[in-house]
Amino acid sequence: MSTAPDVVARLRAALGERVDLTPESLQSARADKSGHAASGAPIALVHAASVADVQETLRVATATGTPVVTRGAGTGLAGGANAGAGEIALSVRGMDRVLEIRPDDLLAVVEPGILNGDLNAALAEHGLWWAPDPASRAISTVGGNIATGAGGLLCAKYGVVRDAVLGVDLVLADGRLLHLGHRTVKGVTGLDLTSLVIGSEGTLGVIVGATLKLRRLVRGDVCTIAATFAGVRAAAEASAAVTASGAQPAIMELMDAASLAAVHALLALEPPAPGTAQLTIQTDGPVAAAEAERIAGILRTTGGTVALSHDREEGERLLAIRRSMHPAMEALGTALIEDVSVPRSALPAMFDEIARVERAHGLVIPTVAHAGDGNLHPNFIFDAEPGASGAVTVPAHIWDAADDLFRAALRLGGTLTGEHGVGVLKRRWLVDELGEDQWDLQRRIVRQFDPQGILNPGKVFAR
């Protein structure tokens, strides 16, 4: 392996001023929005502006045996894009163009650095939208959405990122460029490598372009329901009843008492009654009003106090409470933000398990859920002082509680992560869900793409 000065010299020779060595930039590349950071700073931050820049970076990395960590906007919540000592941080945030919009084919071709919100603003001019709707949509990149397999508030009705990508352009570790997938709705030639890359967290290659499957903007009304319940289990049972009824809301979000109180405090709203949990549900399309009335009836029958609005702006104000969850947790302290999913019918049982973990470990675990698809975000809050390197260490008792909660989700037929990814925070539990044989098979697949193991090392598959 070459020394850091040699690697930097090669990068500078190939990429000039796109190689950033300023201490501030190198420090920022160590962390993402999870609140956690790599123990050291990378040797360089490359600001790629083109596919050629990415290829040159990876050629240098392969020639010198230097690890590369790809970054977008740094909004991840699993530490997957944190670059550390001896590594090159490769930013594709500057590759943010919309290359093509085809309303007739309902597709767009984009670079990976475009923000999710900016893309939809451009598409709206054509009467189109890209459905994935993470809570970070205003600040997260499409490439990051694809790399983590992101979901969001709308995915119960409109699907996750995996359902909205037709193809990806991928630069391999040695600099070769692959065009994966199709521009057609159907396409089964060979193995589906596009789906393999989605959610691979930078371990298979660097995403430098994407062909996206679009939808036409939804016509009709938007109706929003806010329903409060005396406890989180009652709210979870109500959400399960809505799902079982066959209703298909666009959004169904659940906030437990601790998370609802934290957001109300952040936004200076009147505090909710102690123990109050809330469901926020939105319907859309031509039958939105009728479906909202039907859902409101179910919620009242299951014990909810229901408010129904037919006003779009009022609906967005109600959803702003849910979208403020992350800053509310930041206001409480350092957060280990988790991401388990369970079958939707098991949502009440999972909230029972969270309550059990709280009692057993002496913690309060504010939790929100995408109740429409069974994806929960428990937040483990703790006070932490950065160590000498600036990295935050999660206390052992927090990991013990998280371990207890993860295993409960798996017992209920669930998964460790619904949309945030594995990164560094969940890698120790990956084999528990996959089993040894599948874990080994997936590691061997990664090595076929990256024989030297230089792409995002220490993430996902490291024990």
For 161-213, the pLDDT digits (tens) are: 999 999 999 999 999 999 999 999 999 999 999 999 999 999 999 999 999 99
Helix (H, G, I), strand (E, B) or coil at 64: helix
Say which residue, 208 or 337, is predicted with more confidence. 208
For residue 42, give the nearest of 59, 61, 55, 56 by alpha carbon: 61
pLDDT above 80 for 21: yes
CA dist 302 and 319 (Å) reads 22
Please tell me whether residues 210 and 310 are part of one structural domain: no
High-pLDDT (> 90) share of the chain, %: 82
Instruction: Please give the average per-residue pLDDT across 373-378, as a whole number.
Output: 95
Let me know if residue 401 belongs to a domain: yes
The mean pLDDT value of the chain amounts to 94
Is 316 found in the same domain as 341? yes
pLDDT given for residue 390 in this prediction: 55
> Do residue 234 and residue 293 come from a single domain?
yes
Residue 386 pLDDT grade (very low, low, confident, very high; cuts 50, 70, 90): low
**Apex 236 CA angle, 231 and 242, nearest 5:** 130
Q: What mean pLDDT is predicted for residues 89-97?
A: 98
Cα gap 116→167, rounded to integer Å = 17
- 422 inside domain: no
CATH number of the domain to which 388 belongs: 3.40.462.10
CB 114 within 8 A of CB 97: yes
The model's pLDDT over 425-462, given as tens digits with 9 standing for 90+, comes to 889 899 999 999 999 999 999 999 999 999 999 999 88
Closest by alpha carbon to 120, among 130, 111, 110, 112?
Answer: 130
* Whether residue 210 sits in one domain with residue 178: yes
- Tell whether 350 and 251 lie within a shared domain: yes
> Residue 388: which pLDDT band, with cuts at 50, 70 and 90?
very low
Are residue 203 and residue 229 in the same domain, yes or no? no
Q: Which of 100-104, 279-283, 409-413, 415-419 has the lowest mean pLDDT?
A: 415-419
What per-residue confidence (pLDDT) applies to 152? Answer: 83
β-pairing, 88-91 with 44-47?
A: parallel
Domain extent at residue 450: 427-463
59 and 106 part of one domain: no
* CA–CA distance, 3 with 64 (Å, rounded to integer): 8
Tell me, yes or no, whether 106 and 196 share the same domain.
Answer: yes
* Percent above pLDDT 70 for the chain: 98
Say if 418 falls within a structural domain: no
Query: What's the sign of the alpha-carbon dihedral 427, 75, 365, 362?
Result: positive
Longest dimension (CA), the chain: 69
Same-domain check for residues 244 and 372: yes
Q: Residue 13 sits in a domain of what CATH number? A: 3.30.43.10
Per residue in 227-273, pLDDT (tens digit) is 999 999 999 999 999 999 999 999 999 999 999 999 999 999 999 99
Do 209 and 240 belong together in one domain? no
Among residues 257, 259, 316, 234, the alpha carbon closest in space to that of 282 is found at: 316
Answer yes or no: is 421 within a domain: no
417 belongs to a structural domain: no
| Domain count for the chain | 4
pTM for this one?
0.92
Quick one: 253 and 230 in the same domain?
A: yes
With beta carbons less than 8 A apart as the criterion, state whether 49 and 19 touch. no
When pLDDT is cut at 50, 70 and 90, the band that residue 387 belongs to is: low
Of the residues 44, 67, 91, the one at which a domain ends: 91
The answer to whether residues 180 and 312 belong to one domain is: no
Q: Which of 63, 91, 119 is the last residue of a domain?
A: 91
Confidence band of 391 (pLDDT split at 50, 70, 90) = low
Query: Over 80: is that where the pLDDT of 8 sits?
Result: yes
Helix (H) or strand (E) holding 240: helix 232-244
Residues 386-400, mean pLDDT to the nearest whole number: 75
* pLDDT tens digits along 106-164: 999 999 999 999 999 999 999 999 999 887 878 899 999 999 999 888 888 998 999 99
Tell me how many degrees the CA angle 273-277-278 measures, rounded to the nearest 5.
110
- In tens, the pLDDT along 410-430 reads 999 999 998 989 988 889 899
Q: What is the CATH number of the domain that holds 129?
A: 3.30.465.10
Q: What is the dihedral of CA 425, 333, 414, 150, to 10 degrees?
A: -70
Q: Which of 91, 119, 136 finishes a domain?
A: 91
- How does DSSP classify residue 333? S
Closest CA to 415 of 149, 204, 174, 202: 149
Q: What is the number of other CB atoms lying within 10 angstroms of the CB of residue 138?
A: 12
- pLDDT number for residue 4: 86
